Amino acid sequence: MSSLLNATLAELGAELAAKRVSSVELTRACLERIAALNAGLNAFITVDEARALADARSADERRGRGEAAALTGIPIAHKDIFCTRGMLTTCGSRMLANFVSPYDAHVIEQFDACGAVLLGKCNMDEFAMGSSSETSYYGPVRSPWDRGLVPGGSSGGSAVAVAGRMAPAATGTDTGGSIRQPAALTGVCGLKPTYGLVSRYGLVAFASSFDQAGPIAKSAADLAALMNVMAGFDARDSTSLERPKEDYARDLNPDLATLRIGLPKEYFGEGIEPGVRRAVEEAVRWFEAQGARAVPVELPNTELAVPVYYVLAPAEASSNLSRFDGVRYGHRAAQYADLADMYARTRAEGFGAEVKRRILVGTYVLSHGYYDAYYLQAQKLRRLVARDFAAAFERCDVIAGPTSPATAFAIGSKVDDPVQMYLNDIFTIPAPLAGLPALSIPCGFDGKGLPVGLQLTGPHFSEARLLGIAHRYQQASDWHLRVPSETPL
């Protein structure tokens, strides 16, 4: 079974199709692995073995009827931000610690429809606000490379589920880097699609003009297979894009000789750990050896991206999270004097420190007298960041750089300093400001033996191209197949 746990989705699909393994056997193997590792890693908040095995039996029956689709019988771990009917959906918060969702998110429906197995719900930073998966009400997620280190965040549980070989693939969401940064820090692959490609219906909202769901898996080809299930128009999300369905695996072997790779000088400047720089530069050299051309480009407003994001995202969060008032669902304080007191105590008890901080920042920047100076100014600068990318893509096809300036850091080392935590996202925040697709793939290790992520960003709707470029690299390297040192198979 250990080779199955390290297999790609295509390999698992072939094993299932040839009936060399059943979905029930595969699901059991994952459940056993979770039972062995989760106490130490804290990647899952909820694992419903009965539900997973029932899904697996249905998948095996479906295959028996000759009706198997792509991913039928494949166990998938979902970030606990996606509403799942009849199952706890906590968003990593005390506020939703009692919330059994009455409906399914669109992403959950899509995986159900193709016969995938719902393996469990993954731990995350509370309401997806964080870069370390430490702010969860359910305690921090730990890295399988070193349990004293963070896995990144906010989709840290999903990334660790895949990195620790507990699940073949997982879903995540990315607002300012929450798929790509944990993928980079744990040595797996993650894609943030173009804004609007994957429906946000049933995804607990953080910052609605940024939030985008996407896949986390061991390889770029696996990400493509997952995107084929996740993406698609959904009328229930007012920002869902009405576009023809596309096959994200259609261009997995692109010609690299004509490729122009943009290298922004802002992504290779000061503040990047030497081990990260070395690994990313070596990956770029590999592409050059295949005939690709490295083109220097400029993204001059990169430094403003973090401050702009930390105005806009908290502003949107303060509005979105106003729904948690102790009236319709979730936590309600036990003691209160009147209605106003019930709201204030419910929210004080239900939200953790980071969520409160972002709501307060958002409330402030939207308040009378400060709106123009903060919120409107940030929206104007958002346009400048988007223009930088548009100008760069006149000269190159894809932009490469490090996903994160540093490899994984120690649990507890940045929780007391929000600004240090925020600056960790300097390279992942610009793409969502412009609604662009971006992915992270492993490209080596630093001197401490920790994984380094290579980020590729492309123009809107260039997912298939990005995945193809990444796939070519993964055919010539095996960084993505390295099993973390603390969780050997």
CB-nearer residue toward another protein: 196 or 442: 196
CB-nearer residue toward another protein: 22 or 320: 320
Considering 79, 192, 218, 414, which one is annotated as catalytic? 79
If DSSP codes are grouped into helix, strand and coil, which group holds residue 477? coil
CB-nearer residue toward another protein: 286 or 364: 364
Q: Is residue 432 a contact point for another protein (CB under 8 A)?
A: yes
Q: Looking at this protein, which amino acid is placed at residue 204?
A: V
Euclidean distance between CA atoms 264 and 462, whole angstroms? 19
Task: Using CB under 8 A, pick the residue from 271, 340, 369, 488 that binds another protein.
Answer: 340
Is 3 designated active site?
A: no
Cα of first residue to Cα of last residue in the chain, in angstroms, is 9
Q: What share of the chain is helix, strand, coil (3-state, %, to 5)?
A: 40, 15, 45
Q: Is residue 347 a contact point for another protein (CB under 8 A)?
A: yes
Please identify, among the stretches 245-253, 257-265, 397-405, 411-419, the one whose residues bind another protein according to the rule CB under 8 A.
411-419
Please identify, among the stretches 107-115, 139-147, 232-240, 252-260, the one whose residues bind another protein according to the rule CB under 8 A.
232-240
Q: Is residue 326 a contact point for another protein (CB under 8 A)?
A: yes
Please identify, among the stretches 264-272, 278-286, 334-342, 396-404, the one whose residues bind another protein according to the rule CB under 8 A.
334-342
Neighbours of 460 (CB within 10 A): 18
Task: Using CB under 8 A, pick the residue from 185, 365, 399, 467 that binds another protein.
Answer: 365
Considering 131, 133, 143, 178, which one is annotated as catalytic? 178
Q: Is residue 155 a contact point for another protein (CB under 8 A)?
A: no
Q: How far is CA 123 from CA 27, 31, 185, 284, 447, in A?
A: 19, 16, 16, 33, 29
* Burial of 65 from C-beta contacts in 10 A (0-12 / 13-18 / 19+): exposed
Is 178 designated active site?
A: yes
The candidate with the shortest Cα–Cα distance to 128, out of 184, 189, 204, is 204
CB-nearer residue toward another protein: 99 or 473: 99
Task: Using CB under 8 A, pick the residue from 145, 351, 473, 479 that binds another protein.
Answer: 351
126 near 351, Cβ under 8 Å?
yes
CA 171 to chain centre: 7
Task: Using CB under 8 A, pick the residue from 44, 82, 145, 210 that binds another protein.
Answer: 210
Please identify, among the stretches 45-53, 262-270, 280-288, 361-369, the one whose residues bind another protein according to the rule CB under 8 A.
361-369
Q: Which residues of 346-370 are buried (b: 16+ CB within 10 A; e: fewer)?
A: bbeebbbebbeebbebbbebbeeee
Task: Using CB under 8 A, pick the residue from 361, 392, 406, 454 that binds another protein.
Answer: 361
As annotated, the active-site residues are 79, 154, 178
